[in-house]
Amino acid sequence: MKEPVKERHFGPIWFIPGDNYGVYPNCHSIYIEGDGIVIDPGSNRNRLTQLREIPGVREIWLTHWHEDHLMHLDLFDDLPLLISAPDAPPLTDLEVFMDAYGMEDSGEREYWRSVLKKEFHFRPRRPTRFLKGGDVVPLKSGNVEVLSTPGHTPGHLSFFFQTEGVLLLGDYDLSRFGPWYGDRESSIRETIRSVAHLREVPARVWLSSHEKGIFEENPGDRWDHYVSVIHERERKLIDRLRSPRTLQDILEAWILYGRRREPKAFFEFGERAHMKKHLEKLMKERKVVKDGACYRMCDG
């Protein structure tokens, strides 16, 4: 049995664990003591409520726009909200939110419309101001360097707390599952580039939004394994395309999730989104062509 992920303080940087090890639909949060900043309010709702009361919360920052990172944003409706400009539009409207995921199926949208309202407490918000890569934000607790790490989302941000040497990776979580890059504006290439960027930051502690959450030694081989998951997904897809396949044929291999899972509106959407990203990449590289409804490897 896994040991529970515990709250840890690295100077003024507090790691607030999410429920169930921060596994989706939960995530870990960060609280910056002295400045009253919560980053990604998707952890335990009761703990976030306590932080609002003591020692107090003054601002909310988001690494990106995904629902698990703003599950309890409704607790802070009256406070300033900061996010990158590219990731701001989905926050403003539920339909825009689903558009940003690239959801086209009406049944999937109906499912997500309900889930986002009931489970993630979605309420339209407009950011107070924007954070951008290259900014160094002076806080009472020390300087925070804002890192532009697109790929997972177009405006995903990571944060390096320079004084404490703490790097918040956000959703580059170094999990065994590997990266998510299934949104309309996600990018496989930028995901790989952002992981390489984060790997070079001279941190002493690495915090991620899910699962293990805290790395007090350099993650080492975890960086390589995380990126290798992308290449392994592509290898399995290429093997599948030795014979012409429709998109539905490809989805039935469950390359991303390994097996059929429920609810279908969640897992089939994720499978389709990622396979389409890989197909687009392979077609751009002229390794795959589409003939009618089928995809196949290029001759030669």
Entry pTM = 0.97
Local confidence band at 3 (pLDDT 50, 70, 90 cut-offs): confident
Read off the tokens for 65: 């726009």
DSSP letter at 160?
E
Please give the average per-residue pLDDT across 112-127, as a whole number: 98
Q: What residues does 288 pair with on adjacent strands?
A: 297
Output the pLDDT for position 1: 60
Q: What is the pLDDT of residues 196-208, one digit of tens each?
A: 999 999 999 999 9
| Residue 263: cis peptide before it, omega within 30 degrees of 0 | yes
Question: What is the spatial distance between Cα 171 and Cα 186, in angstroms, rounded to a whole number?
Answer: 13
Question: What is the spatial distance between Cα 159 and Cα 137, in angstroms, rounded to a whole number?
Answer: 10
Please give the average per-residue pLDDT across 105-119, as a whole number: 96
To the nearest whole percent, how much of the chain has pLDDT over 70? 99
Local confidence band at 88 (pLDDT 50, 70, 90 cut-offs): very high
Q: What is the pLDDT of residues 46-62, one digit of tens each?
A: 999 999 999 999 999 99
Please give the average per-residue pLDDT across 115-139, as a whole number: 98
Read off the tokens for 174: 């170094």
By the 10 Å C-beta count (0-12 exposed, 13-18 middle, 19+ buried), 7 is classed as middle
pLDDT greater than 90 at residue 2: no
Please give the average per-residue pLDDT across 155-162, as a whole number: 98
Q: In the chain, what are the domain boundaries?
A: 8-219, 232-297
Q: What is the pLDDT of residues 229-287, one digit of tens each?
A: 999 999 999 999 999 999 999 999 999 999 999 999 999 999 999 999 999 999 999 99
Please give the average per-residue pLDDT across 143-167, as a whole number: 98
To the nearest whole percent, how much of the chain has pLDDT over 90? 97
Output the pLDDT for position 5: 86
- Mean of the per-residue pLDDT values for the chain? 97
Torsion of the alpha carbons at 275, 278, 282 and 283, rounded to the nearest 10: 60
Of 24, 268, 40, 43, give the one whose Cα is nearest residue 158: 40
pLDDT greater than 90 at residue 93: yes
pLDDT greater than 90 at residue 20: yes
Output the pLDDT for position 133: 98
Local confidence band at 176 (pLDDT 50, 70, 90 cut-offs): very high
Sign of CA dihedral 80, 32, 165, 223: negative
* CATH 3.40.1410.10 is held by the domain 8-219: no
DSSP letter at 56?
I
